[in-house]
A and B are shown apart, each in its own frame.
Chain A
Amino acid sequence: MRFIGIRLARGLLTLWFAVTVTFFLVRLLPGDPVLAVADPNMTEELRQKLLADFGLDQPLGVQYLNYLGQLLQGNLGMSFRQSVPVTTVLMERLPWTLILTISAMVVTIALGIPLGVLAATRAKGWMDRVIQLTGVTAQSLFVPSVGIFLMYVLGVWLGWFPIGGAVDLDATGFAATLSMLHHLVLPCLSLVLIQLGGYVLTMRTTLIDALGEDYVSLAKAKGVKPGKVVWKHALRNALLPTTTIAGLQLGTLVGGAVLTETIYAYPGIGRAVFEAVGQLDFPVLQGAFVLLAAAVVVANLLTDVAYGILDPRVRTS
């Protein structure tokens, strides 16, 4: 339990840091900080209420405390465009981003582990070289370029998948679920392609290290089958550093989701960010960052705790 407490404290610290950085950056920049929560064209009444809520007429210290207080109550300001609370706008979008990122993560892991094993067990062979070179290339890809390419080939040219939106609005019941999955394929695949390279390369390096350990030689010496040595003995220990890297990559995954959703008009937080950029809707941009940062913190926390339960070494370190 002490272990969970420490991880929780670290998560809260990260979140506090994200919020504080946002608060001060917005106020250090030239321009009106009021813009971050209220539109100059809003009705005077609404504007005054927001100014009072966030205490924007008060000294910086008081403003900061007010800001934290409002965040704790889930108040992220008002969207300029719709004059609806930012929280409402973003919460509508959050499920789509979660579906997209979680499915991309699952597919990446499902493909990354066998590819990593393949490269590591044939280290220095031609298969390994191909996987390594492809991995390095994949890491150099620009997310929108991948998205546009897949959209063009699989969506427009071959016509296999829809190229925009998240679901057919006419569909109901099971058909709706199918349509949702159908729309998910291209955006998900784009994210998988950019994530996979880093994942496989890390997996490969850590697995090669693990395969050189004494317990692997022992297992081989006592006659355990080669496949079992890799999958049951070495892989389990190689997974830990890989998971840590996957945790660190969550920030990149979220950035990738913003760009991918923009390409495919996928109605998640990323698309909301893109729309907010076009309309200079600062409260939505600020709220989206805070919410995405919170999502990353929670995901890291869950991974850490799950790993702590599975691997006792993590709890003590």
Chain B
Amino acid sequence: MTTVELTPRQRTWSAFRRNPLGVGSGAVLLLLSLIAVLAPLLAPFPEGYGSDTSQPPSATHWFGTDDIGQDVFAQVVWGTRVSMAVGLSASVLAIVIGLLIGVSAAYFRRLDTPLGVLVDLSLSLPMLPLMILVAALAGPSVRTLVVVIALFSWPEVARVVRSQALAIVPMPFVSAAKVVGGSSWWIVRKHLLPGVVPVVGVSVVLTTSRAVLAEAGLSFLGLGDPNSWSWGTILHKAQQSGSLASAWWTTLFPSAAILLLVLSTTLLSVAYNDARNHRSDA
């Protein structure tokens, strides 16, 4: 009998493939990304006024129309683009900040206490009201949303990164790197960062879904970019026009899109974690 030696990465992948929830979530995310990229081919950009106002879903308007006759399907398709783009950019920015702060806190011992206190304090405050204040003062735009969400999402990442990096710092190869005269930056780049990457992989996914929820929340309150559509903006317009209680289709479809995205990212990260942990008992 021949046993094929698998690399850890291959083993994680094969364990992941056997999990239907994980694969299904991956497929949903892929589909949503395709919709985001191909939006211009799927529906015209929703603008202006249409003649069919407040129509329930039909063959011509799959998701119905809103109070000024715009097609809700087109809104959701274009909303996918902005919601995912804002979520992903904000999350990448938050992860860069979180990585820098988390790794610095773990490696430079003197920074650990002040940075730890900073993270704890930030995590215990109600972030949404603070984001609202800053977004309102900065003026609504896609860029504002990305920066504001990133600015208040990094502490979670920093905490996760720090605890992972703390386990690596006392390892012999780090001391060895110091002994051979490696600079701090070189050690952080070559030894610490590769060690925290698997944790960050999960973090990207979760931070993105939180960022999408934050974007939807801010846009729902009227702080979205007035020139583009996002899922939160659709809900905001439904609330403003008073169709919240009458035209269920104006709120159901954007809500379902948010749920689909957030749920599949959550399940994907759960499946990925399980796949990685199964290596030990295999």
Q: Give the B-binding residues of A (Cβ under 8 A).
A: 13-14, 17-18, 21-22, 25-26, 29-31, 35-36, 136-137, 139-145, 148-149, 151-152, 155-156, 163, 247-248, 250-252, 254-255, 258-259, 262-263, 273-274, 276-278, 280, 282, 285-286, 288-289, 292-293, 296-297, 300
Contacts and interface: CB of A to CB of B under 8 A. Distances in A.
10 contacts: A14-B124, A136-B266, A141-B262, A142-B216, A148-B244, A251-B124, A273-B129, A277-B222, A286-B133, A293-B125
Contact of A13 (B121, B136, B137, B255): B121
A10 to B, nearest CB: 9
B255 A139 contact: no
Contacts of B266: 136, 139-140
Contacts of B133: 22, 25-26, 282, 285-286, 288-289
Given A251-B123, A258-B129, A289-B126, A144 B137 contact: no
B221 interface: yes
Contacts, number: 143
Contact of A143 (B123, B132, B209, B217): B217
Sorting the interface of chain B by its residue count into under 10, 10 to 19, 20 to 34 or 35 or more gives 35 or more
A163 B246 CA distance: 12
A31 B135 CA distance: 12
Interface of A is mostly: helix
A168 B27 CA distance: 49
Contacts of B251: 145, 148, 152
Nearest to B118: A17
Contacts of B138: 29-31
Contacts of B245: 151-152, 155-156, 163
A296 B124 contact: yes
A119 to B, nearest CB: 16
Interface string B253-279: 001001100110011001000000000
B137 A277 contact: no
